Amino acid sequence: MNILVTGAGGQLGNEMQIVAKGSKDKYIFTDVCDGYTHLDITSIDDIRKMVSENDIKCIINCAAWTNVDAAETAGDIVETLNATAPENLAKAMKEVDGLLIHISTDYVFGADPYNTPCKEDQKGTPTGVYGLTKLHGEQKIIATGVKHIILRTAWLYSEFGKNFVKTMLNLTATKPQLKVVFDQCGTPTYALDLARLIGHIINNKLYENNYGIYHFSNEGVCSWYDFTIQIARLAGNNGCDIQPCHSSEFPSPVTRPAYSVFDKTKVKNTFGIKIPYWIDSLMACMENMGALKKVR
């Protein structure tokens, strides 16, 4: 099968390149940045041309507007990238009876004060433009009638690009003291674990008759404070005094979800997977980065 990956230059796109090396399928990695086959996913004609010329039967959409704060003032481009573009990809796959695997987010939740893990059929209650446009993207994909797997994920990090782990590795190594919010809870997700799930679904054709929305993150629960403590400990950055603080101490144009832990029963039962614990995956990522200094 010929598979098209969008947003190949991002965190998940880079991890998909690693996973693809072990696949019998043919992957074409696209982006709008240098180093990849160029594809503008805001143009349905460009997508149709790419699909036709390469006999694409599956698209993995890793592309999105992901700057949560900037989304509030960026204008129509956020809706275009997070909702219209996925709809374009869905239409193109629908026309060839293909499959769309789309990545969504825990930010489709947040307005309601949940205190139990979020399930796939729970009503979306986004608190900002980013979450709202990602929810619109899901809805538009489903409306096309395309065969689809929508994977909601959360707190994504990897060896690639900018992310929370890299930021905290730097800050805890260079700052004498650091304040990190403790009143927002979720679960970190190593992008390689998500990429491996996608590869597992495709390689074993597990998508057949299992179309729909799924939740995936690593196992466990933590706050951003807990996450930072583990990053610093594993890196051996013991000279930074890390203190918990309230979200209100860091004003933001967006109210982020206070509790966006996923219930992953559906993805585990449907695809027969075991999901790694978040600290184990953090250790694996940091080892791959050469940043792991202390193993508990």
What is d(CA 103, CA 214) in angstroms, rounded to the nearest whole number? 10
Side chain identity, residue 152: R
Beta bridge mates, 100: 59, 148
**Active-site residue (options: 27, 130, 214, 259):** 130
SS (H, E, C) 162-197: CCHHHHHHHHHHHCCEEEEECCCEECCEEHHHHHHH
Is 225 an active-site residue?
A: no
Beta bridge mates, 58: 3, 99
Q: Which of 199, 190, 184, 159 is nearest to 280 (CA)?
A: 190
What letters, b where the CB count within 10 A reaches 16 and e where it falls short, cover 2-23? ebbbbbbbbbbbbbbbbbbeee
Beta bridge mates, 59: 4, 100
> Which three-class secondary structure state does DSSP give residue 103?
strand
What is d(CA 140, CA 137) in angstroms, rounded to the nearest whole number? 5
Cβ of 198: how many Cβ atoms within 10 Å?
24
CB within 8 Å of 162: residues ≥ 6 apart: none
CB within 8 Å of 294: residues ≥ 6 apart: 233, 234, 235, 236
Active site residues: 130
